[in-house]
Structure 1
Amino acid sequence: MQPPASSAVHAPPPEVTLAQMLWGALMQRSLCVATKLGVPDLLAAQPQTAADLATQTGANEPSLYRLLRTLASAGIFSETHDHRFELTPISQLLRRDVPGSMRDLAVMFAEDWQWRNWGELMHCVMTGNAAQHKLYGMDSFAYFTAQPALGAVFNRAMTGLSAAVAPAIAEAYDFSRTSTVVEVAGGHGLLLAAILKRNPKMRGILFDLPDVLVGCGELLDREGVRDRVELAAGDFFQSVTPGADLYTMKHIIHDWDDAKSLQILRNIRAAMKPDGRVLTIEMVVPEGNEPSPSKILDLQMMIMEGGKERTAGEYEALYELAGLGLTRILPTMSPFSLIEGKIR
């Protein structure tokens, strides 16, 4: 009797795997261009030919066909027997009008500033310095202020990402002991709204820079939580609104190096009640060879800000230096984990 065939027998040879990796950036660029042209939105109603799509986008028909054929080979679109293209579950997420849309994230990755930053990866590896500073002489937040159109793309991308993961985060934690939560650097309050909707007796404080808070009213009204949210303007490098039961930060600490992250955490600790808690919401880098989106995102943070994704051990050490004890790390039904801390 023959033993069961090993899955390794069916694995592609190393040269094929390597070639696929080398071509990966080209596929990503192709996906981003199709998204920026609006192809997923145009295919929402029905399949269309490349000629139809070229007419609507102003693209060159043969070139657009070749682009879409390549993307269809990767499952991003599907080409029918009569050479029409249709959406797949992957490209559905690239539409503007679907819950959890990742369209703006794809558009952001198509922008030239992203590719220029990645072109300086060797500089980052050799010096430990961010490409963003070398190319533009400022961090990305200052750059987006100077380039408001790009800043708007970035903000929409981050809002889309928050919309995709906020429900999973809100479901993963027991908020029953919490009467007031402060969302630190919470933007327009999408995560805070998700938490409050699941906890109708809770009140929230949305803490961010004054110019960020200006645009939050529409979202809070739409989510039906405006009457339970207090707005607090400030800079987390200076201080944070005191006295809440719980402080949450999503996708903030990874923007910064250890020194600046420590400054933020110490300011939160100073604001906490003796029995208060902090939830840092980030991807946690697994040890060893385990694949994880946190590892490629770590490189993204390295080239942009000099920030980083961290392991559980690195978060524990950072918390300890801030005067906090890491009590537990809770997984969610998303790539993010909840890193809970209390005053030591």
Structure 2
Amino acid sequence: MDVIIDQIHALAKTSDEVGRLEIQRALHDVQMEMQSPKDLMYNLANSQLLLGIIRLGADLKLFRIIASQNGSVTVSQLAKTTQASPLLLERLLRYLASNSMIKETGLNEYQANKNTHILADEKGEAMVYHGFDFHGPIVSAMPEFFKENNYQDIDSTTNTPFQKAHNTTLSSFEWFVQHPKHFESLQKVMTVLEGAEWTVGFDHLDLAAKAVPSISPRPSEKPFFVDVGGGHGHQCIQLGKKYPNLLGRLVLQDLPEAINKLPLIEGVKAEAYDFFKRQPVTGAKFYYLRRILHDWPDKECTKILQNTLDAMDADSRILIDDVVLPDTGAVWQATMADISMMIGLGGKERTVHQWHSLAGSAGLRVEQIHTYTASTYTSIVVMAPK
């Protein structure tokens, strides 16, 4: 057995992201084949409890405290720091260790493992709070919601399990504005998804960017790149670092409450914009929407795309940075995201066919799909005027 485990570890160390997920999938399949009916029942019961106990641990700062230690920490030490009952901590810590969230090193002694450090990080902690406080009630409300709605697919932002769970008539985004604590957790979670990996190997962008002269833009020159709904400007910043010649030709757009709080970003023009209104920047080379369209049903997405199309020149392109689901064999991470978008926002992750259909509904065509993270199907869908 030890030899087999060592071989798996060695294989994982030399595998890329796709290979690593394939190993996980294979191990999961083996585990499912070995699992008895009783095992399944226990695992289902534990899945709901685990997030709740982790949430409790986050409240007590257990993961932060344990991760800050060079070695082990005792239950009695943690009780003094947290002011929690030693008997309660003993039970909580034993449970967390049995689920590999911390490591048990002796009688009532624990230390951090890889999972502890992830949960101790502010982004991991934010995911716990977002998952339990915002998403958890939505999952609980989901069965009854679909029963009441005759098990129909969701195509609305204001009639989802979210409204039932949080007792509101507002859409999720409207609700977040009124609940800054939840919005802050969401923003921290979203920063985990930031990155410039989408530009790697994307010749469509690379060739166009390198063709831009390394001189200050003329007053009449049209922008090169418009980041629609770009939040804190991470993508514009990364693009400016990779292609300094683009500075002064980058535009960041988001709602006033996001833009007005931002510090100045060198070489980037920030402006308030609602993508359900006509796009004010005309003739840009690229209009970039990262993780935007999966938040919305088809009707709203069509409106967003049409507003962008009206501002495009013949050689302008829309770059949609989103998931493109395979027709079969999708990994659970992607299918989980699809269901989560549906019940919380009324959105969806789309297949190749659905992206083509959505483009056509807005007077566009899919020119290219550049998949840059094969393990999660994250891609750039390039749309051009018909």
Structure-2-length-normalised TM-score: 0.76
Shift of 1:271: 2.0
Q: Which runs of 4+ in 1 moved over 4 A?
A: 6-10
Distance 1:243 1:110, change over 3 A: same
What residue number does 1:168 align with?
197
Superposed, which structure 2 residues align to 1:214-293 within 5 Å? Answer: 214-217=260-263, 226-240=265-279, 241-293=281-333
Q: Tell me: CA distance 1:290–1:150, structure 2 relative to 1, closer, same or farther (3 Å).
A: closer
- SS of 1:325's equivalent? strand
Q: Give the share of equivalent positions with the same residue, in percent.
A: 25
> Contact 1:283 / 1:337 at 8 angstroms: preserved in 2?
yes
1:22 positional shift: 4.1
1:67 to partner: Cα distance: 2.4
Structure 1 residues 45 and 251: alpha-carbon distance in aligned structure 2, compared to 1, 3 A threshold:
same
8 Å CA contact 1:188–1:215 kept in 2: the answer is: no
- C-alpha deviations, 1:69-88, integer Å up to 9, x for none? 32322322211135432222
Match in the other structure for 2:232 = 188
Give the letter aligned to residue 137 of structure 1. T
Which structure 1 segments of 5+ residues have no match?
1-5, 221-225
Q: Distance in 1 between matches of 2:30 and 2:337?
A: 31
Look up the match of 1:61: 86
Relative to 1, partners in 2 of residues 1:245 and 1:138: Cα closer, same or farther, differing over 3 Å? same
Partner of 1:103: 125
**Does structure 1 retain, via aligned residues, the 8 Å contact 2:356–2:366?**
yes
User: Would you say the 8 A contact 1:286–1:292 is kept in 2?
Assistant: no
Q: Aligned-pair distance for 1:289?
A: 4.0
Partner SS, residue 290 of structure 1: coil
Instruction: Give structure 2 stretches of 5+ with no counterpart.
Output: 1-25, 213-223
> 1:255: how far off?
1.2
Structure-2 change in CA distance of 1:199 and 1:242 (3 Å): same
State how far apart, in whole Å, the 1-side matches of 2:30 and 2:246 are.
55
Q: How does 1:85-234 map to 2 (within 5 A)?
A: 85-96=110-121, 101-111=123-133, 113-126=134-147, 127=149, 128=154, 129-134=159-164, 135-158=167-190, 160-163=191-194, 166-171=195-200, 173-174=202-203, 175-176=205-206, 177-178=208-209, 180-203=224-247, 204-217=250-263, 226-234=265-273
Task: Report how far residue 94 of structure 1 moved.
Answer: 2.5
Paired with 2:192 and 2:359, the residues of 1 have a C-alpha distance of 26
Letter in 1 for 2:110: F
Q: Give the paired residue count.
A: 325
Query: 1:281 aligns to what SS in structure 2?
Result: strand
1:264 deviation in Å?
0.7
* Alignment correspondent of 2:362: 322
Separation (CA, whole Å) in 1 of partners of 2:365 and 2:252:
24
Quick check: 1:43–1:87 contact (8 Å CA) kept in 2? Answer: yes
* Equivalent residue for 1:45, pick from 68, 81, 87: 68
CA distance in 2, matches of 1:257, 1:77: 40
RMSD between aligned alpha carbons?
2.5
- Per-residue CA deviations over 1:233-279 (Å, capped at 9, x if unaligned) read 11100022222211111121111111001111111222222112222
| AA of the residue aligned to 1:119 | S
1:307 alignment partner, SS class: coil
Q: Which moved more, 1:322-331 or 1:307-316?
A: 322-331
Structure number with bigger Rg: 2
TM-score, structure 1 as length reference: 0.85
Q: For the residues of structure 2 that align with 1:172 and 1:94, how far apart are their CA atoms?
A: 33
Three-state SS of the structure 1 residue aligned to 2:245 is coil
The change in CA–CA distance for 1:330 and 1:55 in structure 2 (over 3 A counts) is farther
**Corresponding residue number in structure 2 for 1:306:** 346
Amino acid at match of 2:253: F
Instruction: Go from structure 1 to structure 2 and tell me whether the alpha carbon gap of 1:233 and 1:287 turns closer, same or farther (over 3 Å shift).
Output: same
Distance of 1:103 and 1:332 partners within structure 2? 28
Q: Which moved more, 1:242-251 or 1:70-79?
A: 70-79
Matches of 2:68 and 2:240 in 1, distance apart?
35
